[in-house]
């Protein structure tokens, strides 16, 4: 059996690509580097859009990246069902690309925040959260300056009623997100965006004092192997 291949995208200014690739490798999947300027998804089975400051986060986070040649391939593929997880800057790009609704705006505190955050998995029926149980609380680091999720009242109502809020902050909201939203999914459940960083919570020795992030990677592996 060949290993599940998870693409990890690098834009100019991407920071967490190696971390994401390492996490993919830790669960036994194969990380495939994808370059922003290529029109080529290299036939991967899933895509991880990592965090960072693509294009310096100038203009708005993710605003310039979403026009990258690679995104021209990724957007239709995601619409067709390719599993995609965007974390932090990756989430921002997914919103800018309209693969996910709403937007991520300046933290209410106006400060960048780096902390270990308790969150609740609200939905275990996505490609990236199958290894969790709904309602499970875990700890993941957040580290961002623009993570306050906002959307129109209708969009919020739709997200809530359709169970599309995937992860919610508990025990304190680090950025003022509406409804304490930390992550959401598209209707089909293949595209997920979240502000916290699972890839920084996968090893005892380094990163956040938790290995709870592993679940996102085992989820996609299980999903791909069973597919």
Q: Which residues bind other proteins (CB under 8 A)?
A: 12-13, 15-16, 18-19, 22, 52-53, 55-60, 63-64, 67, 95-96, 101-103, 105-115, 141, 143, 145, 148, 150-152, 176, 197, 199-200, 203, 205-208
Active-site residue, from 73, 122, 146, 199: 199
- Active-site pick, 36, 144, 197, 200: 197
The distance of closest approach from Cβ of residue 59 to other proteins in the complex, given in angstroms and rounded to an integer, is: 6
Helices (H), 60-119: 69-79, 89-96
**Among the options 88, 96, 122, 144, which is catalytic?**
88
- Residue 95 is a catalytic residue: no
Among residues 163 and 176, whose Cβ is nearest to other proteins?
Answer: 176
- 28: how many CB neighbours lie within 10 A of its CB? 12
**Residue 142 C-beta: closest distance to other proteins, Å:** 10
Cβ proximity to other proteins: between 63 and 77 the closer is 63
3-state secondary structure (DSSP) of residue 57: helix
- Residue closer to other proteins by CB (options 62, 130) is 62
Helix (H, G, I), strand (E, B) or coil at 168: strand
Question: What minimum distance in Å lies between the beta carbon of 6 and other proteins?
Answer: 17
Query: Smaller CB distance to other proteins: residue 152 or 227?
Result: 152
Task: Give 100's contacts (C-beta < 8 A, 6+ positions apart).
Answer: 86, 91, 94, 184, 185, 186, 191, 193
Distance (Å, whole) CA 193 – CA 126: 11
Contact 197, 142 (CB under 8 A): yes
Name the β-bridge partners of 142: 115
192-222: b (≥16 Cβ within 10 Å) or e: bbbbbbbbbbbeeeebbebbbbbbbbbbbbe
Q: Is 197 a catalytic site residue?
A: yes
Rounded to a whole number of angstroms, the minimum distance from the CB of residue 145 to other proteins is 8
Give me the active site residues, please: 88, 197, 199
């Amino acid at each position: 059996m060949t290993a599940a291949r998870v693409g990890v995208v690098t834009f100019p200014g991407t920071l967490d690509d190696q971390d994401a690739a390492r996490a993919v490798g830790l669960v036994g999947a194969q990380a495939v580097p994808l370059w922003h300027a290529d029109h080529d998804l290299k036939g991967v089975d899933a895509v991880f859009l990592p965090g960072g400051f693509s294009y310096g986060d100038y203009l708005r986070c993710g605003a310039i990246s979403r026009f990258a040649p690679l995104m021209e391939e990724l957007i239709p593929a995601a619409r067709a069902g390719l599993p995609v997880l965007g974390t932090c800057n990756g989430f921002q790009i997914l919103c800018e690309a309209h693969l996910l609704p709403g937007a991520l705006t300046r933290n209410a505190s106006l400060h960048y925040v780096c902390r270990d955050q308790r969150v609740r998995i609200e939905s275990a029926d996505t490609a990236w959260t199958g290894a969790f149980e709904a309602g499970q609380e875990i700890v993941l680091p957040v580290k961002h300056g623009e993570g306050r999720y906002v959307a129109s009242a209708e969009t919020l109502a739709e997200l809530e009623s359709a169970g599309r809020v995937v992860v919610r902050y508990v025990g304190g909201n680090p950025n003022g997100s509406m409804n304490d939203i930390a992550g959401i999914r598209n209707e089909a459940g293949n595209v997920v965006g979240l502000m916290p960083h699972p890839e920084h919570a996968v090893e005892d020795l380094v990163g956040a004092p938790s290995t709870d992030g592993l679940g996102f990677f085992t989820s996609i592996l299980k999903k791909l192997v069973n597919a």
